[in-house]
């Protein structure tokens, strides 16, 4: 069956359908990973986007129950040069095409993904319409023009209810903006007592959970679309150690008074070189983001740049000069990609231990807000 991908600039790609028979619109982006397509398409940060894989052979090792980064994909389409319908791997349970069909997501193969990627690199990411229908081109153009930028991605991808992942270690409140499972996996692996909370959890609600530290997850869309989270972070800054990842990094920066902007075509893949400024050491990192923290906005804040991207020199890591809080634009939880940066979770736990050791005089009540203090006094009577 035929599938077509129409770009905002009028370019039409005609190929073969290998996903659901449907039509979806979204921002067309590209990922340069050679493997890891299952983790990529189930990463909630891609919510509403149509992903093009630049590696030409996709689907070869199928889909397995253990490699999902979220329970169902939020993407609006998958674009590959060649899709392999019969996976060959002992872990494979079904094919990539079957997964897309099951979730009502269209897929297109047998198009020139190199040309598409060069276009996106040259002109920047564009909106696109991926369809298996056979309407006239003008109709597709009209429908694409009528679509608008999605703004509520975080509300779509965040957990609706708080849930626990108990452990004997530090109590971490993981604020879920559309978190990859990898973050929870890394925290539980280290024995953390994790409470995963929805994106709109307030500072007071977080205080009630008596965390030792706060983990801000990755997530889709523009960080400025989540003002309530920026306010929550601003309020808790300095009160608890904070570690932000990707969208969490951008929200942390905004809460500290910095600004963010959209990149021309973003960073998506498993081989982005990042330099740690303190050591001059280079890490190969896993990335997926469109937005970045503006360098010119840092000087008026109490933030210090800790990492930069070696390709385009954009900010990749920040730390607060006064409070125990830091963040990275890339993915220390990998999945997919290199595990070189997983030490950052250890660093976070060390920061929590130091903070506890250096603040023994701070009983929990002192840290509570006025409203909670009132409740506590009432409870203690």
Spatial neighbors of 237 by CB under 8 A, at least 6 apart, are: 255, 256, 320, 323, 325
141 is in an annotated binding site: no
> Smallest distance from the beta carbon of 329 to ligand GLN, in angstroms?
8
| Binding positions for ligand GLN, 221-280, rule CB under 6 A | 221, 246-247
331 is catalytic: yes
Say how many residues touch ligand GLN, by CB under 6 A: 11
Exposed (0-12), middle (13-18) or buried (19+): which is 299, by Cβ within 10 Å?
exposed
Using the contact rule CB under 6 A, the part of the chain among 84-92, 99-107, 219-227, 296-304 near ligand GLN is: 219-227
Q: Which of 17, 132, 218, 341 binds ligand GLN (CB under 6 A)?
A: 218
Using the contact rule CB under 6 A, the part of the chain among 72-80, 234-242, 283-291, 308-316 near ligand GLN is: 283-291
Token pair for 214: 């706060």
254 is in an annotated binding site: no
Exposed (0-12), middle (13-18) or buried (19+): which is 34, by Cβ within 10 Å?
middle
Exposed (0-12), middle (13-18) or buried (19+): which is 146, by Cβ within 10 Å?
exposed
Q: Are 94 and 69 in contact (CB under 8 A)?
A: no
Q: Are 125 and 29 in contact (CB under 8 A)?
A: yes
User: Rounded to the nearest 5°, which phi and psi values hold at 324?
Assistant: -75, 85
> Smallest distance from the beta carbon of 185 to ligand GLN, in angstroms?
16
Report the 10 Å Cβ neighbour count for 66.
7
d(CA 36, CA 54): 12
Residue with token string 């990042």: 274
> Smallest distance from the beta carbon of 355 to ligand GLN, in angstroms?
25
Between 6 and 247, name the residue whose CB sits nearer to ligand GLN.
247
Q: Is residue 31 part of the contact set for ligand GLN (CB under 6 A)?
A: no
Site string for ligand GLN, 290-309 (x = CB under 6 A): xx------------------
d(CA 317, CA 248): 11
> Smallest distance from the beta carbon of 283 to ligand GLN, in angstroms?
17
182 is in an annotated binding site: no
d(CA 167, CA 185): 12
246 is catalytic: yes
> Smallest distance from the beta carbon of 130 to ligand GLN, in angstroms?
20
Token pair for 303: 């933030």
Q: Is residue 220 part of the contact set for ligand GLN (CB under 6 A)?
A: yes
Q: Is residue 288 part of the contact set for ligand GLN (CB under 6 A)?
A: yes
Q: Is residue 95 part of the contact set for ligand GLN (CB under 6 A)?
A: no
Using the contact rule CB under 6 A, the part of the chain among 64-72, 96-104, 192-200, 216-224 near ligand GLN is: 216-224
The helix (run of H) or strand (run of E) holding residue 136 is: none
Q: Is residue 330 part of the contact set for ligand GLN (CB under 6 A)?
A: no
**Torsion sign across C-alpha atoms 186, 321, 283, 287:** positive
103 is catalytic: no
SS3 category, 82: strand
Exactly one of 246, 272, 307, 320 is catalytic; name it: 246
Annotated binding residues: 45, 219, 221, 247, 250, 288, 291
Binding residues vs ligand GLN (CB under 6 A):
45, 218-221, 246-247, 288-291
Residues tagged active-site: 246, 331, 333
């Amino acid at each position: 069956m035929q599938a077509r991908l129409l770009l905002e600039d009028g370019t039409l790609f005609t190929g073969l359908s290998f996903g659901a028979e449907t039509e979806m619109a979204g921002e067309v982006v590209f990922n340069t990973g050679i493997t890891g397509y299952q983790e990529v398409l189930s990463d909630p940060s891609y919510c509403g986007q149509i992903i093009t894989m630049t590696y030409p052979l996709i689907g070869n090792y199928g889909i397995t129950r253990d490699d999902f980064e979220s329970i169902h994909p939020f993407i609006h389409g998958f674009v590959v040069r060649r899709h392999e319908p019969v996976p060959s791997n002992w872990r494979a349970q079904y094919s990539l095409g079957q997964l897309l069909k099951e979730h009502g997501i269209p897929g297109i193969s047998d198009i020139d993904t190199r040309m598409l990627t060069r276009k996106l690199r040259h002109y920047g990411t564009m909106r696109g319409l991926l369809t298996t229908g056979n309407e006239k081109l003008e109709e597709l153009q009209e429908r694409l023009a009528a679509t608008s930028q999605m703004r509520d991605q975080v509300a779509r991808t965040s957990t609706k209810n708080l849930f626990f992942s108990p452990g004997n270690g530090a109590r971490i409140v993981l604020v879920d903006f559309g978190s990859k499972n990898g973050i929870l996996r890394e925290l539980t692996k280290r024995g953390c007592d994790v409470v995963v909370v929805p994106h709109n959890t307030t500072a007071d609600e977080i205080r009630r959970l008596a965390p030792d530290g706060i983990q801000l997850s990755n997530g889709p869309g523009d960080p400025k679309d989540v003002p309530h989270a920026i306010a929550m972070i601003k309020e808790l800054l300095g009160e608890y150690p904070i570690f932000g990842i990707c969208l969490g990094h951008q929200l942390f920066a905004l809460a500290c008074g910095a600004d963010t902007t959209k990149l021309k075509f973003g960073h998506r893949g498993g081989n982005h070189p990042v330099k740690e400024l303190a050591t001059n050491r280079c890490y190969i990192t896993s990335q997926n983001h469109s937005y970045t923290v503006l360098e010119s906005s840092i000087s008026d804040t109490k933030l210090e740049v800790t990492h930069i991207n070696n390709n385009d020199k954009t900010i990749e890591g920040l730390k607060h000069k006064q409070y125990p809080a830091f963040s990275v634009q890339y993915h220390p939880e990998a999945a997919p990609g290199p595990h070189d940066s997983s030490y950052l979770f250890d660093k976070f736990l060390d920061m929590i231990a130091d903070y506890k050791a250096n603040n023994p005089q701070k009983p929990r009540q002192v840290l509570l807000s006025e409203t909670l203090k009132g409740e506590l006094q009432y409870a203690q009577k």
